[in-house]
Amino acid sequence: MLLALSFAALIAVGTAGLLWLPGLYTGPRLGFLDALFTMTSAVCVTGLSVVNTATALTLWGQLWLLVFIQLGGLGLVTLTTLVIGALGRRLSLRSEVIVGAPIDYTHRENVLSLTLRVARFTLWVEALGALLLWLLWLPRFGWKDAAWHAVFHSVSAFCNAGFSTFSDSLVGLDESPLSLLVLSFLIILGSLGYLSSEEALRWWRSRDERSRRMSVHTFAALLVTGVLLVGGAVLFALFEWRGTLAHLGYVDRVANAWFMSATARTAGFNSVSYAEVSNASGFFTILLMVVGGSPGSTAGGLKTTTLAVLAALAFTRIRGRRHAELHGRAIPEGTIERTVSLALIAFGVMTAAVFVLSFTEGRGAESVQAARASFLPVFFEVVSAFCTVGLTMDVSPSLTVAGKLQVIALMFVGRLGPLSFFAALSLRARTHLRHVRPAQEDLIVG
């Protein structure tokens, strides 16, 4: 509940700033609903927007947005922990459990130290990314503009937010493969999470056979991430080689296909217009968005480890074995139950959301054919919002009031995670009812 309230508080403060602070806009001020939509997207590090960040906001407006992207990426609870540590105070046991939740840290020892390492890692990676981008963009924009663009995009990429200070996102960088490479690695590091990145680095440096054994969590996160990145790049190149990538040279096509694969799972940047991609690319992007990044990261989606557990469970049942295994270890039944519950709840929420959004956004269609043609973009929008990705097929700016409210709710629930959100809603359930088990009876399935 505290996590939900912390994100809600951040959204409220950020929205109030967009409504009342002076000097944030180049033109008319945003209305309440559009300000709420924009700030929810920033705090939930999604990237969907009903206005063009580059043209509608001044430098101060973009800075205000960037602050809340960073706070949303790190988490208000993490920030509070850093303040407590700076004051020399200790965390209570309950506080340590709460602080560990956003980064999936389950051990009590050194939670404050871990939080400090996470913050230090975040700032160092963002600073290095900003420096590299500044050097790449210096000839094009001059040192002042290049510095601001570099800082904004480095933070936005690492936090997997997808907001850009360029009016066309990263379409103007489709012939700058080095820029796309730097941004893609910022996105990947942000989507892996600190714990997986730290263990992978420690494993790489280690020469001791015992310490070289990687945990199942990190192994699953790295394996699924690698397969999706490489496989996604190959498929995007196959789908778009003679489509949206046709005007580029061979190196630029490969770089853009790689970037599309990296950004599709969670970041929300686009170097091509997703309104112009093929249906195959659009649907494949939806699949990548559903998977998302890894636990304990700034990414959304069902998570890479969820896919790994479901795949291990499926292979186990196909082979007729009793216990699901991954990386030579049996997966606990409790983990499997949580994984299946997460997948079912997530797919249930997305299915209901697609149904409702198709109704609210399809009522103004000129014909039945037009309404049917809008189904994939609406499906795309729902998954992008719920999985906090931020890609769109140009649906966000034209959403109705009902559509905007629904997307706001999807971004909020998606950032918390469906299990955490529904657990917060059920806190008032009677404790004695949680352990009541009715009589057991079998049924036929399949």
Alpha helices in 52-176 (DSSP H): 53-56, 59-74, 76-86, 93-100, 111-141, 143-158
Residue 78: predicted pLDDT: 60
Q: Which long-range contacts (CB under 8 A, 24 or more apart) does 237-243 make?
A: 239/277, 239/278, 239/280, 239/281, 239/284, 240/272, 240/277, 240/278, 240/281, 243/276, 243/277, 243/278, 243/281
* Domain residue ranges in the chain: 2-308+329-423
- C-beta pairs of 33-39 under 8 Å, 24+ apart in sequence: 33/401, 33/404, 33/405, 34/404, 36/11, 36/408, 37/404, 37/407, 37/408, 38/65, 39/11, 39/14, 39/15, 39/65, 39/68
Q: Classify residue 201 by burial, with Cβ atoms within 10 Å: 0-12, 13-18, 19+.
A: exposed
Most confident stretch, 154-163, 322-331, 368-377, 415-424 = 154-163
Does 234 score more than 80 pLDDT? yes
Mean pLDDT estimate for the chain = 85
For the beta carbon of residue 151, count every other beta carbon within 10 angstroms: 20
pLDDT higher for 330 or 157?
157
Give the pLDDT mean for 39-62: 93
Mean pLDDT of 271-280: 92
Residue 48 has a pLDDT of 93
Separation CA 294–CA 221 (nearest Å): 6
pLDDT higher at 405 or 96: 405
User: What's the confidence (pLDDT) of residue 319?
Assistant: 84
CB burial class (10 A; 0-12, 13-18, 19+) of residue 97? middle
Mean pLDDT over 138-158 rounds to 95
**300-351 confidence digits (pLDDT tens):** 899 999 999 999 998 888 887 878 888 778 888 888 888 998 899 999 999 9
67 neighbors 288 (Cβ within 8 angstroms): no
pLDDT of residue 206: 75
d(CA 105, CA 112): 11
Confidence of residue 426 (pLDDT cuts 50, 70, 90): low
Contacts of 369 (CB under 8 A, 6+ apart): none
Q: Give the pLDDT band of residue 99 (cuts 50, 70, 90).
A: very low
Give the residue with greater pLDDT, 42 vs 424: 42
Q: Report d(CA 290, CA 303) in Å as an integer.
A: 8
Is residue 119 classed exposed, middle or buried when 0-12, 13-18 and 19+ CB atoms within 10 A define those classes?
Answer: middle
pLDDT tens for each residue of 352-405: 999 999 988 877 666 666 667 788 999 999 999 999 999 999 888 889 999 999
* Residue 158 pLDDT > 90: yes
Give the Cα separation of 23 and 66 in Å (integer).
Answer: 15
Give residues with Cβ within 8 angstroms of 40, minimum separation 6.
11, 15, 46, 408, 411, 412
Q: Which pLDDT belongs to residue 79?
A: 57
DSSP 330: E
pLDDT of residue 262: 94
**Does the pTM of the predicted model rise above 0.85?**
yes
- Identify the burial level of 13 via C-beta atoms within 10 angstroms of its C-beta, where 0-12 means exposed, 13-18 middle and 19 or more buried: middle
Going by C-alpha positions, the residue among 391, 187, 204 that lies closest to residue 293 is 187
CA 134, chain centre distance (Å): 25
Q: Which residue has the higher pLDDT, 445 or 155?
A: 155
Distance set, CA 439 to CA 435, 442, 445 (Å):
13, 10, 19
